[in-house]
Amino acid sequence: MSVEELFLSNSLKEFQGIKKLGDLTMKQLSYEELVWQPTSESNSIAIIVKHLSGNMISRWTDFLTSDGEKTWRNRDLEFEGTYSSKEEILAAWEKGWDVVFSAIQNLKEDDILKTITIRGEAHFVLQAIHRQISHYGYHIGQIVYVGKQVKNEQFTSLSIPRGQSEQYLNEKLKNVKHT
């Protein structure tokens, strides 16, 4: 496997991993919890999803051939209003991710060092991918944090639960020795 293929494969895996954190958080929440705002200046999970979906569709549509900030995107509207149901929130979430995954899966090795633009600024494809992994990770971290605030003790951990680090490490090491 070439370095370029490895980069694309790993990037797809990173996107899938951060999406899963959002999936597992939102699965635990009701519609009311998805639209809850911690403060008047905070975004609800629904608003974060609206923003992410708008960003994903804009950035990844015609990824190699047009600016990532599409003229039809209205970023400011992504922070207003909300969805009418949990199903609508999840549909927007999936629609955005479908565009991301399709674009990544269609990239070829020789695309990695091609230049694309985002808001008129030139980026290598490699840089643009890193930029989006960072951006999405930032917002999905917010989603998880708000989900934990809402559910408190009822939140099902998405990583190693408190007090179980040593047990987790021992299991990992045991499985490594057997493979």
pLDDT in tens, 127-136: 999 999 999 9
What gap in Å lies between CA 108 and CA 25, rounded to an integer?
32
Q: How many CA atoms lie within 13 A of 170 on its CB side?
A: 4
Q: Is the pLDDT of residue 20 over 70?
A: yes
Alpha carbon distance 179, 176 (integer Å): 5
* Rounded Cα–Cα distance for residues 95 and 89 (Å): 10
> According to the 3-state scheme, what is the secondary structure of the chain?
CCHHHHHHHHHHHHHHHHHHHHHHHHHCCCHHHHCCCCCCCCCCHHHHHHHHHHHHHHHHCCCCCCCCCCCCCCHHHHHCCCCCCHHHHHHHHHHHHHHHHHHHHHCCHHHCCCEEEECCEEEEHHHHHHHHHHHHHHHHHHHHHHHHHHHHHHCCCCCCCCCCHHHHHHHHHHHHHHC
Percent of the chain with pLDDT over 70: 98
Q: What pLDDT does 163 receive?
A: 87
What is residue 145's predicted lDDT score, i.e. its pLDDT?
96
Entry pTM: 0.92
Burial label, 142 (beta-carbon count in 10 A; 0-12, 13-18, 19+): middle
Q: Is 90 exceeded by the pLDDT of residue 68?
A: yes
